[in-house]
Amino acid sequence: MQNSEHPKSLDELKKLRKPVRNVNREFRPRLGRLERLALWITDRVGTMGFFLIIFSWTVVWLSWNMFAPQHMRFDPYPAFVLWLFISNMIQIFLMPLIMIGQNLQGRHAEARAEADFEVNTKAEREIETILMHLENQNKVMLEILTKLEK
């Protein structure tokens, strides 16, 4: 920042002060139902719990269809056609939902970064003003000390 942009007094600094934004409060209400659903799914699918559910389901399904009595197997080894079909359907439906959720999370992160930048700029301006006042106080104190020593 150049010196001309620095406020010279606390009153000038107060006039430049903007209220701090809470981006989280601004972001969520603007989302539609489907966007909230996409975020909810993105938050849940990206967990170890979801991975363990899918992993367990796969192990049980494949084990049952390999080791159960022949007449009880419903998805024959080695093709596992039904398992592949269901797995692919899960992937096909989750992929776009996760991408939508990630795009929404990216927009939210961008808004947070913008708000952080505003706060940092405000803090920098205030710190520079405080430093200017401290330098001015030091000058005044040195002048008083010089006068007292005479």
The rounded mean pLDDT for the chain is: 88
**Tokens 């107060």 map to which residue?**
14
Q: Which tens digits make up the pLDDT trace of 126-142?
A: 899 889 989 999 999 99
- Encoded tokens for 43: 């938050």
Which of 98, 108, 110 has its CA nearest to residue 46? 98
pLDDT of residue 3: 47
d(CA 14, CA 134): 18
Residue 56 DSSP label:
H
pLDDT band at 25 (very low <50, low <70, confident <90, very high): confident
In this structure, the number of other CB atoms found within 10 A of the CB of residue 23 comes to 17
What pLDDT score does 27 carry? 82
Q: Rounded to whole angstroms, what are the CA distances from 63 to 52, 54, 75, 89, 90?
A: 16, 14, 11, 21, 20
Got the DSSP string for 102-116?
HHHHHHHHHHHHHHH
Q: What are 15's two structure tokens?
A: 């006039």
3-state secondary structure of 83: helix
Look at the pTM and tell me if it is higher than 0.85.
no
pLDDT at residue 113 is higher than 70: yes
